[in-house]
Structure 1
Amino acid sequence: MVKRNRAFLLMTIPALLLFFAFHTYPVLQGIFYSFTNWRGYGEWDFVGFANYLNVFQDMRALSSYGFTFQFAIVSTILVNIFSLLIAIGLNAKVKFRKTLRAVYFVPNILSILIVGFIFNFLFTHFLPDIAEALGITWLTSNILGDPDTAWIGIVIMAVWQATAFNTILYLAGLQTVPEDIYEASKIDGAGKWRNFFSITFPLIAPFFTINMVLAMKNFLMVFDHIIALTGGGPGQSTESISLLIYRGGFQGGQFAYQSANAVIYFVIIMAISIFQIRVLQKREVEM
């Protein structure tokens, strides 16, 4: 038995080495360089916490944080609303239920860049042309070309694609709700809304917690959607933190500075996720 356990441990060594080489070591290296003035090449010197302090004085970084939080909060709320409604509809006894589940999951397996290019065409040409033909003046212009509305286009695309995965999780949660509870509530005269708020939602609360945390984390790390739709424009109105870190670190000679920005952002995402888990799990107990 001892030899068998030792063999299992030895089998994990290659995976651990690969994980350390391609994940842990680069992370530690990035944290180390965040305390230097390294530009990604050449010599460097230690600067202490100067990079971290400069992030909070950088208006471009603060603007990126503002856009990212706005996008993540709105998208997380919309995704969970739509995915829950779709999951409830797909969980009902309708024809072609399994086929519909497969169809609704298709957006999740598509490449974000490909979907982004398609939505870019829709917002740039397709919708304005249709709006002009129908006389809808407010939709005749490309919303991606307006700094005030470009973020809405990104939200629409991100929510459309992310809803598929969250729907699957909600469907899994709805499968755990016993049917006899609904039968008992029907005898008591409870309606659909009462069933949802008193039975369905409390029983799938753990799945709601998972979806909220995962959706918020993924949207806070938004990158591909912006690259495909706006490239961070117009100007810098849709530049997310991930995009700012990439451009500044790998294209702008700010490797150490953006490494500090990445560390700060990692701490923020972790703090938000922990806060969500504690608050939502507390609500689960209260339900």
Structure 2
Amino acid sequence: MNQKSITSLKENTILQKKHHKRKIDIAIYLMTIPAVVLFAAFHTFPVLKGIYYSFTNWDGLSLDYKFVGLRNYLNLIGDKNVWNSYIFTFKFALVSTILVNIISLLLAMGLNTKIKFKNFFRAVYFLPNVLSILIVGFIFNYIFAYVIPALGTKLGIELLKSNILGNQKFAWIGVVIVAVWQASALNTILYLSGLQTVPEELYEAASLDGANKFQEFWNVTFPVIAPFFTINMVLAMKNFLMVFDHVMSLTSGGPGRATESISLLIYRSGFAGGEFAYQSANSVIYFMFIIIISVFQIKFLQKREMDM
């Protein structure tokens, strides 16, 4: 076989490989089409329709509606119920995010030590994440309404004698307790995964340098698990800002409107209150707030990771 034949054979082989790769690429793209179509049909299209309706006065039922421009958005500024829902939601999300990350990190550090039945405790701590939010809400509703007041009466503790969910001033604390209890499950597992990536040699070096437990955590453990901290903070804040099920099952937004979250307000007023277009505008603002806060968190926390 001469040199020309060898060169021709190599070129044919290269062309065949490129053709085969092109076929694989086309097949991959074709496989993604069903997912893209479903995502567009059930997510992208409804979002775009919601933005479109936010500039109208549609009530969600009638066939007739007209464009009103930015009127819905301007009316949101002076709506007391909207302001109350935003204040409650941001207060709830901020407190819950801080608490769930502190508790989850402490639990994860405890589970990461050499204790007996460690795998059993991991399963127990993860159990709340498996339970339905509505079921958890109904159970805690019973506990707050009957068990704790009965216990408070028996022990003579005045603070525990009444149902906290019926107190307009403190009902939000009851929602925080339940939400943090359930959310801590997943966050604990994530932190535990992060703690297992910390090399043991770093702890030995810190111990030789005479570092105490706090210095060991702040200078060794936390810098390594900083990416996990970023993930947990962003996910927790996003999920708590979107709170709906916990409020619905515990207080239904009450007493009065003391625990009415933004999601609950949009659902009630938009679908049952004939304010579909108005609450669509509220949804757009709500979505923008979540995006802005999430982006700010990511940028701030990732910058902190680099500085550590």
* TM-score (structure 1 length as normaliser): 0.99
Alignment of 1:263-278 (within 5 A): 263-278=284-299
Aligned counterpart, 2:135: 114
User: Does 1:64 pair with 2:81?
Assistant: no
User: Does 1:78 pair with 2:78?
Assistant: no
User: Does 1:32 pair with 2:52?
Assistant: yes
Partners of 1:19 and 1:272 in 2: how far apart? 24
- Cα distance, 1:189 vs structure 2: 1.5
User: Does 1:198 pair with 2:213?
Assistant: no
Alignment of 1:119-158 (within 5 A): 119-158=140-179
**What are structure 2's unaligned runs of at least 5 residues?**
1-20
Partners of 1:16 and 1:123 in 2: how far apart? 45
SS at match of 1:37: coil
Aligned counterpart, 1:55: 76
Q: Deviations over 1:55-105 (max 9, x none)?
A: 111011001000001000000000000000000000011111111111100
Say which of 236, 241, 259 aligns to 1:215: 236
Q: Deviations over 1:9-31 (max 9, x none)?
A: 11111111111111111011000
Quick one: which amino acid aligns to residue 27 of structure 1? V
Quick one: which amino acid aligns to residue 165 of structure 1? L
Alignment of 1:11-30 (within 5 A): 11-30=31-50
Partners of 1:156 and 1:95 in 2: how far apart? 28
Partners of 2:168 and 2:174 in 1: how far apart? 11
What is the aligned-residue identity percentage? 66
Quick one: which amino acid aligns to residue 5 of structure 1? D
Quick one: which amino acid aligns to residue 146 of structure 1? N
Partners of 2:129 and 2:253 in 1: how far apart? 23
Partners of 2:179 and 2:162 in 1: how far apart? 21
User: Does 1:98 pair with 2:110?
Assistant: no
- Cα distance, 1:191 vs structure 2: 1.4
Aligned counterpart, 1:5: 25
Partners of 1:185 and 1:146 in 2: how far apart? 49
Quick one: which amino acid aligns to residue 184 of structure 2? T
Partners of 1:54 and 1:91 in 2: how far apart? 52
- Cα distance, 1:188 vs structure 2: 1.5
Aligned counterpart, 1:173: 194
- Cα distance, 1:175 vs structure 2: 1.1
Q: Deviations over 1:124-149 (max 9, x none)?
A: 00000011001111110011001001
Partners of 1:35 and 1:162 in 2: how far apart? 36
- Cα distance, 1:164 vs structure 2: 0.5
* TM-score (structure 2 length as normaliser): 0.92
Partners of 2:249 and 2:303 in 1: how far apart? 39
Runs of 4+ with deviation above 2 angstroms: none
SS at match of 1:204: helix
Q: Give 1 or 2 for the bigger CA radius of gyration.
A: 2
Partners of 1:9 and 1:272 in 2: how far apart? 33
User: Does 1:185 pair with 2:206?
Assistant: yes
Partners of 1:94 and 1:206 in 2: how far apart? 26
- Cα distance, 1:198 vs structure 2: 0.7
- Cα distance, 1:108 vs structure 2: 0.4
Higher alpha-carbon deviation: 114-123 or 8-17: 8-17
User: Does 1:249 pair with 2:270?
Assistant: yes
Partners of 2:36 and 2:28 in 1: how far apart? 13
Quick one: which amino acid aligns to residue 7 of structure 1? A
- Cα distance, 1:185 vs structure 2: 1.1
Aligned counterpart, 1:41: 61
SS at match of 2:252: coil
SS at match of 1:234: coil
Q: Deviations over 1:234-272 (max 9, x none)?
A: 000000000000001100000000000000000001000
SS at match of 1:39: coil
**What are structure 1's unaligned runs of at least 5 residues?**
none
